[in-house]
């Protein structure tokens, strides 16, 4: 049995499959089991920021695996300590402490618990169209995918993004935290504006609530800065991270200000901060720094927008782009065009029913972007 047959036989049917078996990757390219080449504008849903099979991460993994793979948080570890120091260095000022976990939804779960324990409150306020994960706590703060799993956490309210008056009305003396994405990913690649984010910070300070910024998808150079909140000099109380943090190795993190005090024993993660993942993350972040991937994402993203917007296909309603986080909103459903792009060798994602989302590896070249633009025009014309 081949990979497709094995998964069809044994996997719990949860994912909407595309019918392709990916077996190899390099940079912004992927190959299936038939040898067909694809330009990857999905990047494992925004994970492969430094490209597939990055040699620096592969070498770090091999080296670390020879000495120590796992080490629980009840013991200190040198590799873990170096990663925590690195995360504090690259995140916004005022973030001083790190909790390591295994995914984005775990980082949200931890942040919710930390907020409730620190403030003694239990309310959450977040944005319509926002996405923060699929486990029950994170799902409580997520606008979609909720109905089949209710009741979820109580006292979770949703307000329109970029409407400061609605946010003002929603934050009360039971609000533990406001949770926002600086750019909504699953919600259609919709940026929060600078005034709204600054207003959220001010409202949280005035009402004793914490501000949690979810950079699971926007982080690690995706938007043309190391973190999207840095475009606005926004200083959160907690920053939720995952996806691109470790070059494709599962990892998540919450980086916290001095206000956060959950207490010893209130949370944990068996695999969180294991030395193998920490070594991968160190190598990935150092690659981002030495290769100036934030600047590269800005330049390549602007190049894509200038070239594609010069002759927009008639089916396109809007293009929203910040760095190499791109949403192409159509006047009709996106699903048929995602399949058409797949047939043309381009892997892309949806972001709501009418949006094609492009999250290519940040190492993608201008020539490869030209190919993406050519294929987009072909299928959307």
Q: pLDDT by residue (tens digit) across 9-60?
A: 999 999 999 999 999 999 999 999 999 999 999 999 999 999 999 999 999 9
| pLDDT of the residue at 327 | 98
Q: pLDDT by residue (tens digit) across 196-228?
A: 999 999 999 999 999 999 999 999 999 999 999
Q: How far apart are CA 375 and CA 370, in angstroms?
A: 9
| 206 contacts: CB under 8 Å, gap ≥ 6 | none
The full DSSP string for 285-308 is HHHHHHTTHHHHHHHHHHHHHHHH
Q: pLDDT by residue (tens digit) across 65-90?
A: 999 999 999 999 999 999 999 999 99
| pLDDT of the residue at 25 | 98
Backbone angles phi, psi at 309, to 5 degrees: -70, -20
Q: How far apart are CA 126 and CA 13, in angstroms?
A: 30
Q: How far apart are CA 213 and CA 35, in angstroms?
A: 41
Q: pLDDT by residue (tens digit) across 237-257?
A: 999 999 999 999 999 999 999
Query: Are 369 and 304 within 8 A, CB to CB?
Result: yes
Model confidence at 298, pLDDT cuts 50, 70, 90, reads very high
pLDDT mean over 128-147: 97
Q: How far apart are CA 106 and CA 160, in angstroms?
A: 25
| pLDDT of the residue at 221 | 98
Q: What percentage of the chain reaches a pLDDT higher than 90?
A: 100
| pLDDT of the residue at 1 | 85
Q: What is the CA radius of gyration of the chain?
A: 20
Active site residues per annotation: 131, 214, 243
DSSP 234: -
| pLDDT of the residue at 126 | 98
Q: What percentage of the chain reaches a pLDDT higher than 70?
A: 100
User: In CATH terms, are 3-53+295-380 and 56-290 the same topology?
Assistant: no
DSSP 89: H
Share the mean pLDDT of the chain. 97
Q: Is the bond leading into 3 cis (omega within 30 degrees of zero)?
A: no
Domain ranges of the chain: 3-53+295-380, 56-290
| Residues shown for the chain | 381
Residue 306 scores a pLDDT above 90: yes
Q: pLDDT by residue (tens digit) across 155-188?
A: 999 999 999 999 999 999 999 999 999 999 999 9
CATH of 56-290, one of 3.90.1150.10, 3.40.50.720, 3.40.640.10, 3.40.50.150: 3.40.640.10
Token pair of 21, please? Answer: 């078996």
Model confidence at 112, pLDDT cuts 50, 70, 90, reads very high
Token pair of 176, please? Answer: 């533990």
Closest CA to 32 of 43, 40, 23: 23
Q: How far apart are CA 100 and CA 105, in angstroms?
A: 12
Tell whether domain 3-53+295-380 is in CATH 3.90.1150.10: yes
């Amino acid at each position: 049995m081949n990979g497709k047959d094995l998964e069809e036989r044994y996997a719990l049917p949860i994912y909407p499959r595309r019918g392709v078996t990916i077996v190899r990757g390099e940079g912004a390219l992927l190959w299936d089991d038939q040898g067909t080449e694809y330009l990857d504008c999905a990047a494992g849903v925004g994970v492969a920021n430094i490209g597939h099979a990055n040699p620096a991460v592969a070498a770090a993994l091999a080296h670390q695996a020879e000495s120590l793979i796992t080490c629980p948080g009840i013991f200190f570890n040198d590799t873990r300590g170096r990663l925590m120091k690195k995360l504090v260095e690259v995140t916004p000022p005022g973030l001083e402490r790190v909790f390591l976990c295994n995914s984005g939804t775990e980082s949200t779960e931890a942040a919710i618990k930390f907020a409730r324990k620190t403030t003694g409150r239990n309310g959450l306020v977040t944005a319509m169209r926002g996405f923060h994960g699929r486990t029950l706590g994170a799902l409580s703060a997520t606008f979609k995918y909720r109905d089949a799993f209710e009741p979820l956490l109580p006292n979770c309210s949703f307000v329109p993004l970029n409407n400061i008056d609605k946010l003002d009305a929603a934050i009360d003396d039971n609000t533990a935290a406001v949770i926002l994405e600086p750019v909504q990913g699953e919600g259609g690649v919709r940026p929060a504006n600078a005034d709204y984010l600054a207003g959220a910070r001010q409202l949280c300070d005035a009402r004793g609530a914490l501000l949690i910024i979810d950079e699971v998808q926007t982080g690690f150079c995706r938007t043309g800065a190391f973190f999207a909140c840095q475009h606005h000099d926004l200083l959160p109380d907690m920053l939720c991270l995952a996806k691109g943090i470790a070059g494709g190795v599962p990892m998540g993190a919450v980086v916290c200000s001095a206000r956060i005090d959950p207490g010893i024993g209130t949370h944990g993660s068996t695999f969180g901060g294991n030395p193998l993942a920490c070594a991968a993350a160190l190598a990935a972040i150092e690659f981002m720094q030495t290769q100036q991937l934030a600047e590269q994402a800005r330049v390549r993203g602007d190049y894509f927008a200038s070239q594609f917007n010069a002759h927009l296909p008639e089916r396109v309603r809007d293009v929203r782009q910040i760095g190499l986080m791109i949403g192409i909103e159509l006047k009709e459903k996106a699903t048929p065009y995602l399949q058409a792009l797949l047939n043309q060798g381009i892997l892309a994602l949806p972001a709501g029913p009418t949006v094609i989302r492009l999250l290519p590896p940040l190492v993608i070249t201008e020539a490869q972007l030209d190919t993406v633009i050519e294929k987009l025009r072909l299928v959307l014309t």
